[in-house]
Structure 1
Amino acid sequence: MTPRPLLAALALAVLSTPTFADPPDFDRPGAGFATTVLPAGTLALEQGLPTYERERSDGFLDRTYTADSVIRLGLGGPVELQVAGSAWNRLEERGMGSRRHATGHGDTSVGLKWASPGSGDAGSFSWAALGNVTFDNGDEDFGNGAREVSLGSTMQWKPDDDHQNTLYANVDHLKGRNTWTLAPTFGRKFGDQWMAYIEADAIHDADEGNELQAGGGLAYTIGDHLQLDAYALHRVAGHGPSFIAGLGVSMFFGRKS
């Protein structure tokens, strides 16, 4: 199944779920993902609106817009299924006296997330692991060109009810090469609805070398089942995008127990 009908079918399942359960932690925004999973039989949609990247390389300036989607399904116990993709992307390329643009969809990934039984209360430690397989089914300008396997983990410390610190570690294996990511994040709540954080992303690519991004973001909760977010990262050193920014919305859909 191609990404568009797959994501559309899962989105329809999300939207057709009639009633609500207690809300979970969302994976958006920031590096890594929540150290909790969804309750069994519940769904969440986390949608970019979109993400923007700017990168200059070899005399070309590329601007990319990506409407990235993640659909999460609680399988019961400490396990969760995730399906992710980008049904719409746009590339704007300028350089050498020429201009080019392209639109299309990206690759699709399927993953399993496992969360530790940590309580998530103040003074606690918790962690989760996520394994993904990304299939080479995107359009030429927006796909990896080969199947990719990823394994990541997020570790979280909550010194009190208002602060949380996380460390995200991940490895992507693509075309026989590994890309490593290590990203600490420091977050703080402001009242019941606002959360702000800062982060630093250290990335080592086997082909292109090292990259360091730094930035932060905000999340605003509306009710118990909706979250809006905004974030931005700027390249501090090395290769990679010079600027990344995005808006997003996360929605939780569940059933009453």
Structure 2
Amino acid sequence: MTKLKQLSFIISLSSLGMSAMASDFSFDRPGTGFGTGITPVGNLAWEQGLPAAKYVESKDASGIKTKTLSLNADMLLRTGLAENTELQLGWLGPAWTQAKSQGQTVEDDGLGDVSIAVKHRVDLDDDKLSMAVLAQALIATGNDGFSAEEDIYTLGTSVQYQYNALVNTSMSMFYEVQDGDWSVTAIPSIGYKIAGDWSGYSELVYRKKESLDNEYALGTGLIYALNERTQFDASVGVDLDGQARSYNAGLGISYLF
């Protein structure tokens, strides 16, 4: 075999390996839930917000209206520990807020909390059904006004069913405890192929925290796969509970090294 043929053979094998890796891997952006894909050992997935925005209009008991705009650039790093297990390191990133009320404007900025998590894919021996569990600790290291203030410990589960090449559904559940108070979040969602490298998703978010009213939100978004290792995403959402009007939107990019 000539050197040219040897080089072509090595490149072909590398391409096949990359395709196989990409077919078993999926990014967790965008959306509130998480996927069942695991980052391959020796690879690093970087998922970055560019950023996310939230707009809230609220009134206090005396009827005074406040308009608040928030921006933050969250980040998630994922790397494989074993065939079915990965380590996640997250950071809510730099953040900025602007509040307007009675003709006055107040701005603030700071850094958000960090998190560490382990995700494990459960082998169901099924071509269409997949499952993963997530154990996460959010450490309240952020600045005042941009932190959860107390650490949050979360156990999450995600189940996905691939109906066909165009449609899949999933259900993510989160059980959280913060300073002795419990909350549960359920996120049913549907993913769908649109055309070519374009796909989308829609989700409902239900959250119940101890001693507080139910919370509901809707979200949807678009995903563009630039290649096997890179994707861009855009999403919008609205909160459906309470007297305040709350909207959110975000852009993001994800890359597999």
TM category, shorter: 0.7 to 0.9
Partner residue in 1 for 2:50:
49
238-247 vs 100-109, which moves further: 238-247
Partner residue in 2 for 1:129:
133
- For residues 186-216 of structure 1, the C-alpha deviation after alignment (integer angstroms, 9 at most, x for no partner) is 1111244111111111111225421111131
Partner residue in 2 for 1:84:
90
- For residues 212-236 of structure 1, the C-alpha deviation after alignment (integer angstroms, 9 at most, x for no partner) is 1113111000111000001111122
Percent identity among equivalent residues?
29
TM superposition score normalised by structure 2? 0.85
1:117 equivalent among 100, 114, 123: 123
- Of the two, which has the highest radius of gyration? 2
State whether residues 183 and 200 of structure 1, in contact with CA within 8 Å, keep that contact through their aligned partners in structure 2: yes
- For residues 56-99 of structure 1, the C-alpha deviation after alignment (integer angstroms, 9 at most, x for no partner) is 33332221101000000111121100000123100111224432
Partner residue in 2 for 1:73:
79
State whether residues 50 and 246 of structure 1, in contact with CA within 8 Å, keep that contact through their aligned partners in structure 2: yes
CA distance in 2, matches of 1:237, 1:185: 19
CA distance in 2, matches of 1:65, 1:205: 25
Partner residue in 2 for 1:143:
147
Gaps of 5+ in 1: 1-18
TM superposition score normalised by structure 1? 0.85
Gaps of 5+ in 2: 1-14
One-letter identity of the residue aligned with 2:238: H
Instruction: Spell out structure 1 runs of 4+ moving beyond 3 A.
Output: 118-121, 238-241
Secondary structure class of the residue paired with 1:242? strand
Larger RCO: 1 or 2 (CA < 8 Å, sep 6+): 1
Number of residues of Structure 1 aligned to a counterpart in Structure 2: 233
Secondary structure class of the residue paired with 1:38? coil
Q: CA 1:64–1:38 in structure 2 vs 1: closer, same or farther (change >3 Å)? A: same
1:119 CA drift (Å): 6.6
